[in-house]
Amino acid sequence: MFASTCLLISVLSGFLFSCNQQAMQEGGVVEGQTVETTATEGEGMVYDVNLSSLNSEANDGRDVSGTARFEVRDSLLLITVNAEGLEPNTMHLQHLHSFETPADASCPPGMEADTNKDGIIDLIETRQSAGITMIPLHDNPVNMEIKTDTYPTTDNEGKLSYQKTVNLNELSSAYKEKFGMDIDLTRHVIFIHGVGSDASLPASVQSLPDVPAHVTLPVACGAID
């Protein structure tokens, strides 16, 4: 269905990004995967991603929808995330996930990812397809800190808007220091996490140590393909 071309671009001091540019046949878009990847001379690469809803029943029946964009411009990475259908007036964790080896992450393949059959795809159950948390999308992604209170907060309608410009050289250095390899955006997926604190979650729902399950529960995912 897709004709794929891989373009490798050199960014700053030898750090590499790779991008798959796909020509889609009519009707061939798959929700949760890249809708458009474009390269404009002088502006670098642009990755546009659709977000698919996860765990809508735990999210008070809401389906999360939205988009994310990652744009490479010279020494900068411009990140934009817009989503709706989230728990209102709540800080939502959002991250890029992948593996600590050269493998491609993907969003959970449906309820078959619910390995303990409790009706919820929790954070730990996403690891088989999506790996671990790697890049946090908060006030300062370069510091690579996961536990912080600087993630974006939704408005009273459950809409989230996030924009951040980071120094690509600094982010690449921090990523390589932590994981021992260069950044390749196309290996990652983006997750948005979090439902209301009053959500009725089974006791079997797993989370990070000392972090409540409702905070880390995945509610949207999109592949940077």
User: Which class for 36: exposed (0-12), middle (13-18), buried (19 or more C-beta within 10 A)?
Assistant: middle
SS3 186: helix
- pTM for this model (two decimals): 0.81
Please report, in tens digits, the pLDDT of each residue of the chain (225 residues total): 333 333 333 333 333 333 333 333 333 333 333 333 343 333 589 999 999 999 999 999 999 999 999 999 999 999 999 999 999 999 999 999 999 999 999 999 999 999 999 999 999 999 999 999 999 999 999 999 999 999 999 999 999 999 999 999 999 999 999 999 999 999 999 999 999 999 999 999 999 999 999 999 999 999 997
Give the pLDDT confidence score for residue 44 in this predicted structure. 83
Residues with Cβ within 8 Å of 50's Cβ and at least 6 positions away in sequence, in order, are 29, 31, 32, 33, 34, 35, 66, 67, 222
The amino acid present at 99, given as its one-letter code, is F
**Among candidate residues 17, 195, 187, the one with its CA nearest the CA of residue 8:** 17
> Tokens standing for 13?
């001091």
What would the 3-class secondary structure string for 84-142 be? ECCCCCCECCEEEEECCCCCCCCCCCCHHHCCCCCCCCCCHHHHHHHCEEEEECCCCHH
Gap between the Cα atoms of 185 and 145, Å rounded: 19
SS3 222: strand
